[in-house]
Amino acid sequence: MASDASDSIGQKPKIQIYSTPNNEVTPFWKEKYERDAKKYWDVFYKRHQDRFFKDRHYLDKEWGHFFSEAEEKVILEVGCGAGNTIFPLAATYPGIFIHACDFSPRAVELVKAHKDFNKEKINAFACDLTSEDLLKHISPSSVDIVTMIFVLSAVSPEKMSLVLQNIKKIMKPNAYVLFRDYATGDLAQERLICKDQKISENFFVRGDGTRAFYFSEEFLTNLFKKNGFRTEECGLCCKQVENRSREIVMNRRWVQAAFRLDDEIHKLIKEADDGFDIDISEGFAFEMFGISSPRDEITEFKLRDWNFKIKLLSKEYQHTCKSTGLMLWESARLMASILAANQTIVCGKTVLELGSGSGGICSMIAAKTARLVVPTDGDNKTLKLLQENVTSNLEESLISKLKIKKLEWGNEEQIETVKKLSGEKGFDVVIGTDVTYVAEAIMALFKTAKELISRDGVLILCHIFRRVDEESLLLAASCFGFRLVDRWPDEKMTESPSRIRIIEDWFEGRIGKDDIENSALHIMYFQAE
């Protein structure tokens, strides 16, 4: 012990130059790096122009089998930067047409200023794929190959799915995504680990404010799988770079992969964009719901202070799946009970009901405290009957807040008409009761909801799982940027303190067993991202 003490005598206190590894940046800076990401990359290209990255002439060697000189192909280069990918491609394959986008306007300007830029062969535009729709720049289902080379790493991990959902809309059947990006264990990551530059797991900020995520093969393949892609090729590439003057060896690692859009997913996306009609005949209604189509009749529905008398559609008014007027479904009754007992869900907000049918009881109850309510359906005769039910059941002061509109899911003209009612912001709450029973309509449903909902809006679906299972529903929701926040019932969820309780709170002391007509009913609460 004495020896230890004497050894320490006269030693100067150590000064820690580098901070303790794995310290994350503060929440303030995380938010700033996210908010100002475009600005940091603009500054990067202002400083370096087109001198930082080398032209990628290796593409033909690595991926030549995906291209063909004999065929004209349409390419989308995501994160084109100064054009280090597109110009070598254009020179090697003169028959291709290239769409080139980057969320840095300065990078796009560099592409357009390049000596080999040809607007007849290259469409260059600025676009943030996490928030802007690619369909504004590229026709749906028109691209053969999407290249993503050291670009997805610059996107926050929680927003990567939004990028993949966006590019799927413009991809042809059997189109490919060719991918190359940083891998975990890369030299650059090892250096950043030793500094206070960690944002989250495998996600770091560089000294210039730009960010980089380092992919593992498992993370990457799972990311593409959950967003509707099949892995065709995937491998880890390692290379040692020697700096002889400094006598150091640097390990560089990247992951290289090829993904193909799943045929079934592509089919659903195309149908969502094109629109479709599916006949619901009397036989179909019986098969789906165990009932024959309703005749002209008045159904009385009592709920708290409400006493509705709802006129149902007759047999001659049977319609497509975009309308829900065949009957007053159990899901609508349950959702109406929840809204009546929990007016805070809609109080002072703008509310959109998709597929309200001829009943419209959820919209009528929401109108009591909501700022604006817009019930919609795709069938003219159903809408006419809905108007009759609203007029006969609501007092004038509530009718004035309720605007009935025709809306076929995926119909852009009708979507724009409805969107104008909510203003630029979009609807705060979107409700759908039993609108998930036909598989072919699911993508159109979420596509329409996405275009009409506000940035932080909520989508509430109440239904019975029939022909569409939960996994398919969640996949479709994720394709358009909806995140499942809560569900009911959910036996899988634990009673941990971190659990988000939203739907159960609607029931406690407010909803009785008599309000739940069918134990198979489910509620899903989504947040728009």
Q: What is the pLDDT, as a whole number, of residue 348?
A: 96
Q: What is the pLDDT, as a whole number, of residue 61?
A: 76
255 and 327 in a common domain: no
Instruction: In whole angstroms, give the CA distance from residue 446 to residue 443.
Output: 5
Q: From its phi and psi, is residue 150 left (phi > 0), alpha (psi between -120 and 50) or beta?
A: left
Is position 294 within any domain?
no
Q: What is the pLDDT, as a whole number, of residue 466?
A: 73
77 and 197 in a common domain: yes
326 and 254 in a common domain: no
326 and 251 in a common domain: no
Number of domains the chain contains: 2
Local mean pLDDT, 10-residue blocks, the chain (529 residues): 40 43 72 79 72 66 74 87 86 88 89 89 91 87 91 91 92 91 85 79 86 93 92 86 65 90 60 47 42 58 84 47 55 92 95 92 95 93 89 92 94 93 92 86 92 95 84 87 90 55 87 69 92
Is position 15 within any domain?
no
Is position 151 within any domain?
yes
User: pTM, whole model, 2 decimals?
Assistant: 0.50
Instruction: In whole angstroms, give the CA distance from residue 380 to residue 150.
Output: 50
248 and 341 in a common domain: no
How many residues belong to the chain? 529
Task: Reply yes or no: is the peptide bond before residue 489 cis, omega within 30 of 0.
Answer: yes
138 and 246 in a common domain: yes
345 and 230 in a common domain: no
User: Tokens standing for 69?
Assistant: 């000189």
Mean pLDDT, rounded, of the chain: 80
Is position 84 within any domain?
yes
Residue where a domain stops, chosen among 212, 234, 261:
261
Residue where a domain stops, chosen among 218, 242, 261:
261
Residue 9, CA atoms < 13 Å, CB-side half-sphere: 6
Is position 22 within any domain?
no
200 and 58 in a common domain: yes
SS3 of 194-263: the string is CCCCEEECCEEECCCCCEEECECHHHHHHHHHHCCEEEEEEEEEEEEEEECCCCEEEEEEEEEEEEEECH
CA-based nearest residue to 227, from 487, 529, 485, 477: 477
Is position 66 within any domain?
yes
245 and 380 in a common domain: no
Structural contact between residues 349 and 338, judged by C-beta atoms closer than 8 angstroms: no
380 and 461 in a common domain: yes
User: What confidence tens digit (pLDDT) does each residue in 35-63 have?
Assistant: 877 787 778 767 766 665 666 767 777 88
User: Tokens standing for 520?
Assistant: 């198979």
CATH of the domain at 185: 3.40.50.150
Residue where a domain stops, chosen among 261, 282, 305:
261
Q: Which domain holds residue 477?
A: 321-528
337 and 196 in a common domain: no
Is position 252 within any domain?
yes
Q: What is the pLDDT, as a whole number, of residue 245?
A: 66
Q: What is the pLDDT, as a whole number, of residue 103?
A: 86
Q: Residue 330 belongs to what H/E stretch?
A: helix 330-341
458 and 361 in a common domain: yes
User: Tokens standing for 77?
Assistant: 């280069």
Is position 315 within any domain?
no
Instruction: In whole angstroms, give the CA distance from residue 496 to residue 480.
Output: 29
Structural contact between residues 277 and 319, judged by C-beta atoms closer than 8 angstroms: no
